Amino acid sequence: MERLIGRYGKFGAAKTFLIFAGVHGNEKLGIQALQELFDEFEERKVDFEGTILGIACNLPALQQEVRFIHKDLNRQWYLSKIRKLGALPYGMLNSSEDIEQKHILDLVLDIVHDKGKELMLIDLHTTSAKGGCFSITNNHPRSRELALQIPVPVINGMVGKIKGTTLEYFDELGLPAIAYEAGQHTEQEAVQRMKAGLVSIFTNTSCLGSKELLPYQHVLDKMKKDFQHLPKDVHVTHLQDITEEDEFVMRPGYINFQPVKEGEHLADDKYGPIYCPSDGLILMPLYQKKGNDGFFIVKKVD
Ligand SMILES: [Zn+2]
């Protein structure tokens, strides 16, 4: 697998989309979606007023189909750490994810610091739980505008709850970024949703002519229908932070956006039962071994 999935567009243009896939190695569908999208653009020779750079992030974890090898690559994006990684040679790095992060930074740092570029990050993910898909924004006002081009719930308030995410990195750089959770890890429909969501963003930012949306419009229409029962805007109120030593086990059957009540028995760990801290909707209940987030509670924004 290549680190650079593809590059497309007019390279002098200001608008630049940095698209990350496979930050978590058990989430391969983002790679497939980008490969297909680059092929479709090449084949139709679409005119793109901007640049897209698609990057496969955690290659060793993707090869082994695990979330990460030594540590979660989506918890490593601190400015102080990035500065250190820039200065240290590869031979001095002893964690697989540090090496991966340095490779990614080698590819993107020039663009990230190019003030002439209008840079946006879209980070493609899938979830272990069933039930819908959603986008997550950082605090930059443009992020919400980008997210609203995909007909799925928009989650805000995540930056600050989870530390060291790609979204937080872009937040600290003063740049817009969204994560797009397009379905379950093995759900092929997620590939179609990723492609359609990306093209919707590209057309709505005038990088693509509106006719380029036509081949993907049926997917967006189906998403509108499939997710119309979900709230458009939600805010994160709680993160159940866990470590491997906690032996966290989510109780079975929870799906994304399922309503939960304060006091509901949601999970167990070696310290006993874990009860829901407040009424709300559950998001990303953890049904896989690796991960630092047991579940999130979100509330609809009126
Ligand atoms: Zn992920």
Phi-psi domain of 50 (left: phi exceeds 0; alpha: psi -120 through 50; beta: other): left
Residue 71, pLDDT score: 94
Is residue 273 packed enough to be buried (19+ CB in 10 Å), middle (13-18) or exposed (0-12)?
A: exposed
Domains parsed from the chain with CATH numbers: 4-226 (3.40.630.10), 233-300 (2.40.50)
Residues 8, 10, 16, 20, Cα dihedral to 10°: 10
Tokens of 151: 């007909």
Tokens of 220: 């967006």
CA of 252 to the centre of ligand 1 (A): 20
CA of 209 to the centre of ligand 1 (A): 31
CA of 106 to the centre of ligand 1 (A): 22
CA of 210 to the centre of ligand 1 (A): 30
CA of 33 to the centre of ligand 1 (A): 15
CA of 177 to the centre of ligand 1 (A): 15
CA of 126 to the centre of ligand 1 (A): 6
Residue 220, pLDDT score: 97
Residue 111, pLDDT score: 93
Contacts of 92 (CB under 8 A, 6+ apart): none
CA of 287 to the centre of ligand 1 (A): 13
User: Following DSSP, what letter does each residue of 158-213 receive, concatenated?
Assistant: -BTTB-S-HHHHHHHHT--EEEEEEEETT-THHHHHHHHHHHHHHHHTTSS-GGGG
CA of 12 to the centre of ligand 1 (A): 31
- Residues near ligand 1 ion, CB 5 Å cutoff: 24, 27, 125
CA of 28 to the centre of ligand 1 (A): 10
Residue 291, pLDDT score: 81
CA of 284 to the centre of ligand 1 (A): 10
| Ranges of the chain with pLDDT below 50 | none
Is residue 71 packed enough to be buried (19+ CB in 10 Å), middle (13-18) or exposed (0-12)?
A: middle
CA of 26 to the centre of ligand 1 (A): 8
CA of 44 to the centre of ligand 1 (A): 31
Residue 290, pLDDT score: 80
CA of 263 to the centre of ligand 1 (A): 28
Residues 204, 210, 215, 218, Cα dihedral to 10°: 60
* Cα separation, 196 vs 217, whole angstroms: 7
User: Following DSSP, what letter does each residue of 239-278 receive, concatenated?
Assistant: EEE--GGG--EEPTT--TTEEE-TT-EEEEETTEEEE-SS
* Cα separation, 147 vs 179, whole angstroms: 9
CA of 220 to the centre of ligand 1 (A): 22
CA of 127 to the centre of ligand 1 (A): 6
Q: Is the dihedral of CA 85, 100, 242, 301 positive or negative?
A: positive
Query: Which residues are paired to 268 by β-bridges?
Result: 249, 273
Contacts of 116 (CB under 8 A, 6+ apart): 14
CA of 81 to the centre of ligand 1 (A): 21
CA of 282 to the centre of ligand 1 (A): 17
For β-strands 51-56 and 118-127, DSSP reports them as: unpaired
